[in-house]
Amino acid sequence: MSDDGSTSPSGDDFEALLEPLLSPAYGYACHLAGDRGEAEDLLQEAALAAFRGFRSFRPGSNFKAWFYRILTNCFYARHRRRQRRPVTVELEDAPDLFLFQRTAELGLHGSDDDPARRLLRKLSQWQILAAFAALPADFRVVASLYFVDDLKYDEIADVLHLPLGTVRSRLHRGRKMLQKTLWNVAVEAGVASAPGAAGGVAP
């Protein structure tokens, strides 16, 4: 409580609010950065920026959305500076049911085992991160919030200050693109065969 009687957040308040978020925020940062070391740097940068700007946080409002927004802004700032991975146009036309079709072509749909699980279980966490990292930034952000933290569409819209329809559209398109990047990663890793090649999902 400040001298004028209003409630003013303190550093202790900040750390108490931040601590339970660190684990999911780290997962979110990993999928944005595509790399564990860079994710830790990103999370530390966001924690420091949030700490310095904590006076602008309204007590009682959604701290998680506020902090994730800062983390997302830090990611965009880094991404703009680096632009290491240019957006690949081929992802924009990822067809519907891309992995469903690819796994069907490999004859995986007749077996008892679930073809989607069978493919994904062959991929390491690093390879999954690589598939996320191959998404254009706007789609990576929305897909990461959705998958890492189970946020609903309206919660993602709150974090990103975007209209609900934009979140819905980016998530739907991002998921389609992700199917293609997952497949590309699987083929590159030799976990699945490219179309026309012999074999299927590696045992």
Partner 1 sequence: MTTPDLLTCEQTFARLDDYLDRELSAEEQEAVQRHLETCDVCTAEYRFEGSLLDELERKVRSLRPPSGLKARIAARLAAARDGNGSDEGP
Note the residues at the interface with partner 1 (CB under 8 A).
11, 14-15, 18-19, 22-23, 26-27, 30-31, 36, 40-41, 43-45, 47-49, 51-52, 96-97, 99-100, 103, 109, 114-117, 120-121, 123, 125, 128, 147-148, 150, 152-153, 168, 171-172, 175, 178-179
Asked whether the beta carbons of 146 and 170 are under 8 A apart, the reply is no
Cα separation, 131 vs 139, whole angstroms: 12
Question: Which of 166, 146, 165 has the alpha carbon at shortest distance from 155?
Answer: 146
> Which one, 22 or 194, has the nearer CB to partner 1?
22
Find the shortest distance in angstroms from Cβ 150 to partner 1. Answer: 7
Find the shortest distance in angstroms from Cβ 135 to partner 1. Answer: 13
User: What's the N-to-C CA distance of the chain in angstroms?
Assistant: 62
Find the shortest distance in angstroms from Cβ 143 to partner 1. Answer: 10
> Which one, 176 or 198, has the nearer CB to partner 1?
176
> Which one, 5 or 30, has the nearer CB to partner 1?
30
> Which one, 138 or 149, has the nearer CB to partner 1?
149
> Which one, 18 or 91, has the nearer CB to partner 1?
18
161: Cα separation from own chain's centroid: 17
Find the shortest distance in angstroms from Cβ 154 to partner 1. Answer: 9
| Burial of residue 150 (number of CB atoms within 10 Å: 0-12, 13-18, 19+) | exposed
Q: What distances in angstroms separate CA 185 from CA 120, 150, 181, 200, one per listed residue?
A: 11, 24, 6, 14
Asked whether the beta carbons of 56 and 14 are under 8 A apart, the reply is no
Question: Which of 164, 39, 35, 177 has the alpha carbon at shortest distance from 95?
Answer: 177
Find the shortest distance in angstroms from Cβ 166 to partner 1. Answer: 14
Cα separation, 44 vs 86, whole angstroms: 26
